[in-house]
Amino acid sequence: MVVGIRELTVEWGHCDPAGIVFNPRYFEWFDHSTACLFGTAGIPKYDLPKRFDIIGIPIVDTRAKFMVPSKWGDVLRIETRVIEFKRTSFDVEHQLFKADGTLAVVGNETRVWAGHHPEQRGRLKATPIPQEILDLFNQ
């Protein structure tokens, strides 16, 4: 299983007036971590549209569980993995750990492998995830 790991230092601009991370920032970090995961697997996210003739991998569901707050100056380790591939979608899990190993946040996304709709120009259509992608993530 491919696991993407990256570290992030919480900056002043990530925080709300109480000095804790403003919740939407986590979703921004999740999205970037998913992009990094594809790079770790061997295919940068920006290569997906051209290589597989897709529009992208949009999020259709996302959620997060916040266990402990993260504050300005905290160093977070983000571990990202695909936890399940389905025919046209996949589920991603992000775990954010504080420097002492405490699990601070768990985030989940469901993304769709989105190709071009054959009959309606500019519209998305869920398409099967290529075997090449499945193989890369199952090494």
Non-local CB neighbours of 69 within 8 Å, separated by 6+ positions? 20, 21, 104
Residue-range domains of the chain with CATH = 3-137 (3.10.129.10)
Distance CA 85, CA 129 (A): 8
Distance CA 72, CA 16 (A): 10
Distance CA 129, CA 106 (A): 25
Burial of residue 101 (CB within 10 Å: 0-12, 13-18, 19+) is exposed
Mean residue pLDDT of the chain comes to 94
Per residue in 52-110, pLDDT tens?
989 999 999 999 999 999 999 999 999 999 999 999 999 999 999 999 999 999 999 99
Per residue in 7-24, pLDDT tens?
999 999 999 999 999 999
Specify the pLDDT at position 138: 86
Q: Is residue 139 very low, low, confident or very high in pLDDT (cuts 50, 70, 90)? A: low
